Amino acid sequence: MLSLLIVLAILVSVIIGYKTKINTGLVAMAFSYIIGAFLMGLKPKEIIGGWPVTTMFVIFSVSLFYNFALLNGTLEKTARSLLYSCRNFPALLPFALYFASAIIAALGAGFFTVMAFMAPITLLICKEAEMDELIGAVAVNCGALSGANFMTSGSGVIFRGLIDEAGLMSDSFSISIVIFISSVIFSLLLISLFMILGKRKMGEIKAEKFTKPEKFDEKQKFNLILMILMIVILLTFPILNIIIPNNELIAYINSKMDVGLVAIIFSLIALFTGMADEKEAIAKVPWNTIIMICGVGMLISIAIKAGTIDLLASWASGNLPVWIIPLAFSLIGAIMSFFSSTLGVVCPALFPIVPVIAEGTGINPLILFTAIVIGAQSSAISPFSSGGSLILGSCTEDEERESMFSRLLFIAVPISVLSAMLYNFALGLIL
């Protein structure tokens, strides 16, 4: 009965957040207190202890560093330069949009930031190139999603933190690599599918009327160097540790690497060198996302204490055929993400279940983690979710917005979700 109540609390939190626009994390915190203190007899300190401090710190520090590049124009100029370089290959425009968005997101901008300034640019480019706007929307959404999954970017960092908290700390980096690579492959396949299904032949796309972007100024050049340097530092030793697992020096340095703490050092360098204003950089930290993720994480910790996670895992492993479980995770992730955030709700809710189900069924946990992410991201283009809403917000006319709403809801989402399930099924066979 208690487990059922907790599951209902998670669902109600999502519904209230969607209907009222109140942060889902705040609602989840309230439920955590009511259920934990008055129904489970937990002390308030135990309930507060469920707040994922590490995850909060990492999101804050990483986003703070990359906000400097956002404020001084480094990210936007990088995106425009990447698109301009592909001006002579109009048939490859969707992939140019994808890679431009992916690279900027991988450099640390994160999904929401990339979509906020790439979605308007994308729709404008589609009009100029006379390309189906739906294909452009899918391309930029996929690019922002898969790029953000890079191991040192926003989503990738959060995935690693959630996997660590799920008890798979030693494998979190390698699992995050698989998630990133899988999301890239899935995105490229999905864009190709939409290009094939599109009414306009790719050869008919006109070369976009880009003006040559201005050169990077000295501040932007230095900021770009800082971003690349941080990525290199954070990736070098984990990769070396995988390649040379028995080297004590590499293992020692790798054990001291922390993306959040490294990001703080680079943020200080950015401040000392005048990359942007400190107050503006802090103000742009995604506090709403932090509250959402940590609030839901708090409620999930209550679910773990109540045995809800183990109960759900036992039911799934005992009642579902093994081959269906990755598909079920993919579909559940898609349904949840249709109305909510992949990072804020889906992954914090489903990732803790994975180790128990993997142990009970013999399924490789990275298959389940990947199925959750790919499934959730397949419906992120829903007009009720993060990606779709940002695309709709970039439409300049009501008629255009209404048309895009219908096409996202009835074309993009069904095709993407079905493709994700097929992809995850194939991935399960391969891995």
CA dist 158 and 109 (Å) reads 14
The ranges assigned to domains in the chain are 1-49+290-431, 51-285
Residue 21 Rama label (left phi>0; alpha psi -120 to 50; beta): left
CA angle at residue 86 from 119 to 224, to 5 degrees?
A: 70
CA dist 12 and 392 (Å) reads 26
210-239 core/surface letters (b: 16 or more CB in 10 A; e: else): eeebeebeebbebbbebbeebbeebbebbb
Q: What is the pLDDT of residues 58-101, one digit of tens each?
A: 778 888 988 898 899 887 787 777 777 777 776 788 998 899 88
Q: Is 130 in contact with 200 (CB distance < 8 Å)?
A: yes
Structure confidence at residue 207 (pLDDT): 52
- DSSP code at position 216: P
Structure confidence at residue 58 (pLDDT): 78
Structure confidence at residue 290 (pLDDT): 82
Structure confidence at residue 344 (pLDDT): 60
- DSSP code at position 246: T
Structure confidence at residue 60 (pLDDT): 87
- DSSP code at position 277: -
Q: Is 240 in contact with 254 (CB distance < 8 Å)?
A: yes
CA dist 19 and 6 (Å) reads 20
Structure confidence at residue 335 (pLDDT): 80
User: Mapped to the 3 state alphabet, what secondary structure does 126-144 carry?
Assistant: HHHHCCCHHHHHHHHHHHH
Name the 3-class secondary structure at 106: helix
Residues in the chain, pLDDT under 50:
201, 203, 208
CA dist 24 and 12 (Å) reads 9
The CA radius of gyration of the chain, in Å to the nearest whole number, is 21
